[in-house]
Amino acid sequence: MVEYDVIIIGAGSVGVPTALATVKDGLKTLVIDSLPSVAQADNKHAIGGIRSTHSHIGKSLLCQRSIEIFSSWEEKYGDDIWWTQGGYTFLAFSEEDEKLLKDTVKLQKSYGLNIDFVDAEKIKELVPGINDEGLMGGTYSPEDGNASPLLALHSIFRNSEELEAEYRFNEKVTGILTKEDNVIGIKTTKGKYKTKYVINTAGAQAKEIGKMVGLDVPVEPDSHEAGITEPVKNFFTTMVVDIRPCIDSKFGNSKNYYFYQNKEGKILFCLTPDPNMVGTDRRETSSFLPQISKRMIQLLPRLRNIKVRRTWRGLYPMTPDGNPIIGKVDEIDGYINAVGMCGQGFMLGPGLGELLSRILTEKLNSKDHEIIDTLSYERDFGIEEELK
C-alpha cells in the first residue's frame, strides 16, 4: 500500500484548503472524493459570503484568518477569485433585534473585530433605495466580504497540486482501517492506503465517515435555496442580512434571508426556510423564488425589474448548536474531525485548514487551543450561537 502522512476525505470547502496547508508544511497528502472533480458537492452551492463577525470565539478567530488569506490571494498567487471587501450589514427593524445586535457587537468587539451598530441614515448610504419604514439601524462590519467559491477552490486546488498534494476522484471511502484504536489507513472502492492520520471533511456525509470508526458524529444536513440575477450596474457592496422572520401562508414561512451584489454586478441571494428542510434532497422547490423575491422587493424596491437567471439548492451540514466540530477524539488516535460547518465552510476553510495542519505538526498556539476546546467533539451542544 502507498503510505501518506495524512488522508483527507472530501475535496470541498475545507478539504482543499487543508490539503494546501498540509503540503506547505511538508506532509505527504492525499485527498479522496467520490465525485468527479474538486468542489462538486456543496461548495458550488455557496453564494460566497465571508465574515468574521460571529458570536462564537472559535469561528471568529478562524474566519479572521480566512479573510487575511482571501484578501491577499491574488497578490500572492496571481489568481483573481473575485474578492471584494464590501462588508456585512445586519438590519434591525424592532427594539428586540436592535438589542440583540448591539449585545452581539459588544461581544464581537471583544474579539478584536471592526464592527459597529450604525443608525438608519448610515444604512441608507450602504443600501441605496432601501425601504426605511421602521428601520432602526443595524450593524456594519467593513472588513468582511465575498469571493467566488468556485474560483477560489479551483485556485487553491491548483496551488496544492503544484506542491504535490495528490487527489483521487471518483473514489469512495468504504472504511477506515484501525489497529488497537489507532488509524493505520483507509480502504476505498479502488484500493487501500496507509496513513497515521485521517481528516473527516466529508460535509453532508460526515456522519457516515464517523461511523467507520464507531463515532456518532452529530451532523444532520438540511437544505437552503439560493439564486442569482442578471448583471446590473453595481449600486451596493455590502452583504445585506434581514433577520426578521416572515409568515407566508401561501408560499411558506421563512427565517432570515441575505443578498449581495458580486463583482460582475449579479445579485446573489439565499433564504432560511421555516421549518428547516432536513435531508439530502438538492432539488429546487417552486416556493423559494416567490418567498424570497417578495421579501427582497419589499426591502429594496429597485430590485423588482431585475431578472433572475437561476436558482439552486444546497446542503448545510448542521450540528445541534450551529457550530463546527473540530479536532482529535479520545476514542481513536489519528482520526480528526473537521465537520458540521453549518453552511459556513467556505468562509471557515482557509483558516481551518491551517489549524488542522498545526494539529498534525504539533505546532498549536494558545488561540488554537481555545478554538479546539470550544469546538471539540466532547463539548456540550446545548447552547446555540446567536445569528448563526
pLDDT 10s digits, 34-79: 999 999 999 999 999 999 999 999 999 999 999 999 999 999 999 9
Q: How much is the pLDDT for 388?
A: 66
Whether 99 shows a pLDDT value over 90: the answer reads yes
Q: How many helices (H) and strands (E) does the chain have?
A: 10, 19
Radius of gyration for the chain, computed over Cα atoms and rounded to the nearest angstrom: 21
Average pLDDT, the chain: 97
Alpha-carbon distance of 240 to 238, in angstroms, equals 6
Class of residue 112 by CB neighbours under 10 A (exposed 0-12, middle 13-18, buried 19+): exposed
Q: What is the pLDDT of residue 383?
A: 79
Residues 327, 332, 336, CA angle at the centre, nearest 5°?
A: 25
Secondary structure element (H or E) that encloses residue 100, with its range: helix 95-110
Interval 291-339: pLDDT, tens: 999 999 999 999 999 999 999 999 999 999 999 999 999 999 999 999 9
Q: How high is the pLDDT of residue 372?
A: 97
49 neighbors 260 (Cβ within 8 angstroms) = yes
Grid cell of 258 as nine digits: 441575505
Rounded to whole angstroms, the Cα distance separating 65 from 382 reads: 27
pLDDT at 1: 78
Q: State the virtual CA torsion across 169, 175, 181, 185 in degrees, nearest 10.
A: -40
Residue range(s) occupied by CATH 3.30.9.10 in the chain: 88-143+221-318
Calpha distance 328→338 (Å, rounded): 9
H/E element, 315: strand 308-318
- In one-letter notation, the amino acid at residue 85 is Q
What does the pLDDT look like over 111-155, one tens digit per residue? 999 999 999 999 999 999 999 999 999 999 999 999 999 999 999
Q: How far apart are CA 350 and CA 68, in angstroms?
A: 9
pLDDT tens-place string over residues 245-265? 999 999 999 999 999 999 999
For 49, the 3-state DSSP assignment is: strand
pLDDT > 70 fraction of the chain, expressed in percent and rounded: 100
The Cα 58–Cα 302 span in angstroms is 38
273 preceded by a cis bond (ω within 30 of 0): no
Of 95, 96, 120, 117, nearest to 108 (Cα)? 117
Cα–Cα–Cα angle for 126, 128, 134, rounded to 5 degrees: 85
CATH of the domain spanning 2-78+149-219+321-374:
3.50.50.60
From 366, 364, 344, 367, select the one nearest 356 (Cα to Cα). Answer: 364
d(CA 272, CA 361): 39
Contacts of 43 by beta carbon, 8 Å cutoff, 6+ apart? 12, 13, 149, 150, 153, 345, 346
Tell me how far apart the alpha carbons of residues 206 and 28 are, in angstroms, rounded to a whole number: 23
Assigned CATH class of 88-143+221-318: alpha beta
Q: Would you state the pLDDT for residue 384?
A: 78
Task: Find residue 89's DSSP bridge partners.
Answer: 140, 240
What's the rounded Cα separation, in Å, for the pair 82 and 96?
A: 36
What's the grid cell of residue 230?
Answer: 442578471
